[in-house]
Amino acid sequence: MVTSLIYRHNRLAVENPPTSTLAALREEPGVMMWIDMVNPAEKHVKRIMQDLLQLHPLVIEDCASDNPFPKLEIYDDYLHLVMHAVDYSRTDKFTTTELDLIIGKNFLLTFHHQPLRPVQAAIDKFVRTPKRLVRGPDRFAHTILDYMVDAYQPALAELRQELEDIEWDALHEGTPEDLFPRVLDLRKELAQLRQIVRPQRQTVSELSRGKTKFIRKVILPYLRDLGEEMQRLESQASGWSDQLILSFRVFLNRSSHEASEGIRVLTSLTALSIPPLLIGGWFGMNFEHMDILDSGWAYPLTLAVTVACTAGMAAFIRRRGWL
C-alpha cells in the first residue's frame, strides 16, 4: 500500500495522487512530498524507489530486509534512518517493527512491512490540518519519531502496574512459587525495553548533532528533546529493575522472619513440654524401691512440681519474648 501527501509551497495540495504522476509532481517548483510504503508491491518499489527517487541499491535492499539494529547512513542526496517502532501487550510482550525513513531535500519516504500506528497517526495529523505550514521533510520525520516515543507510554504504564502488584504481594500475601516467575518475567521485559531504547536513543542523538544538511537547525532542539525523553525511558526502566530486586529482597527477608517466628514458636512449645516429660518419664518407670509411690501425697506433690516447673518455663519464655 502506498500513501502520499503532496505539498506545494509548504501547504498540503494533493493527497494520494496516482503513483504514475509522482515523477511529474516532483519536478514542479516548490513541491515537497511524503510517500509512505507499507509492504509495497514490486512494481511500486521499482517505480518509486528506483525510478523516482533513484535510491542506492543497498538502501533498497536494507528496506526490503529486516535490520535488527538502528542505524544512520548519509548519502549525497538523502539520509537513510532505520528505527524500530515498539508495540506491547501482556500476551505478546514487546514486539518491534522496522521503520525506514529516507529524508531528502524535498521528500520523505517511509518504508515498513506492517502498518504502524505512529506513522498513521502522523499522516492523520497532517491530513486533518491541510493549512498547516510544513517547511521541510524533516518536520514529517520528527513528527513520526515523536509518536514513536509516545507509543512507549502504554507499555510503561503496564510495566509500572506489574511492578506495583509485585511490591504489594511481596509485602503482604505473596508466595515464592507465585512471585519468583513474575519477578523474572518483569526483569526480562525491562531489560528488553532498555535494549530497544538505548541504540535508538544513540541514533537520535547522533542525528540531533546537525552534521547533515537534510535536518534543519530549527529541528535540532526537537530531536535533542526526543533523545532526552528516550534517555528518561532507559533510566526509568533501569530504576524499576533495581526497585524490583529490592522488593524481592524484602519479600525474602519477610519470609525468613516469618519462618524464624514459626521455629521460635515450635521451640517454645517444645520447651514447655520438657518438665512434664521429664517428671512423668521418671515416675512412670515403676522402680521397685520407689517408696514415694506408695504414699498418699505422692501424686499431688508430683502434679504440683510439674505445674510449677512448667509455669517457670513459661515465665522464662515470655521474658525472652519467644511467645
Question: How do residues 167-184 score in pLDDT, each as one tens digit?
Answer: 777 777 766 667 777 777
Cα distance between residue 152 and residue 201, in whole Å: 13
CA atoms within 13 A on the CB side of 300: 3
Question: How do residues 267-277 score in pLDDT, each as one tens digit?
Answer: 666 766 777 77
| Residue 96 pLDDT level (bands cut at 50, 70, 90) | confident
DSSP 8-state secondary structure symbol assigned to residue 52: I
Output the pLDDT for position 257. 54
In this structure, the chain runs to a length of 323
Question: How do residues 128-149 score in pLDDT, each as one tens digit?
Answer: 887 778 788 888 889 999 988 8
* Amino acid letter, 2: V
At a CB cut-off of 8 Å and minimum separation 6, what does 308 contact? none
Poorest-confidence range of 97-106, 223-232, 281-290? 281-290
CA dihedral over 155, 156, 160, 161, signed as positive or negative: negative
| Residue 221 pLDDT level (bands cut at 50, 70, 90) | very high
Output the pLDDT for position 255. 57
**Within a 10 A sphere around the Cβ of 118, how many other Cβ atoms?**
23
Cα distance between residue 98 and residue 70, in whole Å: 9
The residue with cell 504504564 is: 157
Cα distance between residue 251 and residue 54, in whole Å: 61
β-bridge mates for residue 82, sequence order? 71, 100
pLDDT at 220 over 80: yes
Bigger pLDDT: 166 or 298?
A: 166
- Alpha-carbon dihedral 167, 172, 174, 175, rounded to 10 degrees: 130
Output the pLDDT for position 300. 75
**Within a 10 A sphere around the Cβ of 148, how many other Cβ atoms?**
24
Question: What Cα–Cα distance (Å) separates residue 243 from each residue in 196, 236, 238, 252?
Answer: 20, 10, 9, 14
The residue with cell 509551497 is: 9
Instruction: Please give the distance of CA 174 from its chain centroid, rounded to a whole number.
Output: 22
CA dihedral over 271, 276, 281, 283, signed as positive or negative: positive
Find the helix or strand (DSSP H, E) in which 186 lies.
helix 176-207
Find the helix or strand (DSSP H, E) in which 179 lies.
helix 176-207
Cα distance between residue 73 and residue 14, in whole Å: 30
- pTM as predicted: 0.72
β-bridge mates for residue 84, sequence order? 98
Cα distance between residue 146 and residue 293, in whole Å: 95
